[in-house]
Homo-oligomer: A and B are copies of this chain.
Amino acid sequence: MARPTTGDKPQDIRRATVDEVSAVGSTSVSVNKIAARAGLSVGTIYRYHRSKDELLFSVFMEVKRDIHAAMMTAAADRQGPAARIRAMWFALVDYGFQAPGDFQLVELMSSETRVQFSGNEELKQLQSEVLGEIQKGVDDGTLVNTNVRTIETVLASPAITLARRVAMGRQVIDDDEVERIFTLVWRGVAADRQGLSG
């Protein structure tokens, strides 16, 4: 008894938002242009989102969830902290390789001071799940016995750097380089040396 939605508008909007943000930046992005890119009218965007801020934050959260899910799925069939963390790390980098725009959106929006960010419970939840995986590694002696956040910083930073480079198309990064970086990072955070070559 109503006009049905044609196509998958939310998905179109998300795709257009990611494309536009990764093209012009998260702050100078324009709703009018997102609508044009999605092949929709502005009004339609405002049927699905209350404001520009809400639109950006909602797409940001979707992407965050996807990245988190990719990491957790990769870890799912691995046994033990070493294999799980390695799988999560490569999943993170891989996500950046396959969806550079998604990654750039997250990066750009994280570089801003947004009230919505600090204090968001779901965001905290995702973060603590990752820290939990690291904690297991510390507990069983796989990882060096230090602050989990410290370890997380050392692990995540190069992964983010790598993914960002791909997102910017600045340079091509081959699998060997990714492997080399993980090797160095793992040397740093692993408690003992497991098959290292000077």
On A, residues with C-beta under 8 Å from B are 24-28, 104, 107-108, 111-113, 118, 144-147, 149-151, 153-154, 156-158, 160-162, 164, 168-170, 177, 180-181, 184-189, 191-192, 198
Contacts and interface: CB of A to CB of B under 8 A. Distances in A.
Given A111-B168, A113-B169, A149-B177, 8 more contacts: A25-B28, A108-B111, A144-B198, A146-B180, A150-B181, A154-B184, A184-B188, A187-B187
Across the A-B interface, give the 8 residue pairs with the lowest CB-CB distance, nearest first. A188-B188, A25-B27, A27-B28, A157-B157, A157-B158, A157-B161, A184-B188, A28-B28
A94 B154 CA distance: 18
B162 A153 contact: yes
This chain: how many copies in the complex? 2
Contacts of A186: 188
A60 B160 CA distance: 22
Contact of A184 (B146, B161, B169): B146
A177 B160 contact: no
A154 B185 contact: yes
A189 B180 contact: no
A6 to B, nearest CB: 33
A157 B92 CA distance: 15
Contacts of A26: 25, 27
Contacts of A160: 157, 161
B111 A184 contact: no
B150 A184 contact: yes
Nearest to A23: B113
A149 B184 CA distance: 12
Residue of A27, A118, A188 with most chain B CB atoms under a 10 A cut-off = A188
Contact of A198 (B28, B111, B145, B187): B145
Contacts of A161: 153, 156-157, 160
Contact of A154 (B108, B158, B192): B158
A198 B191 contact: yes
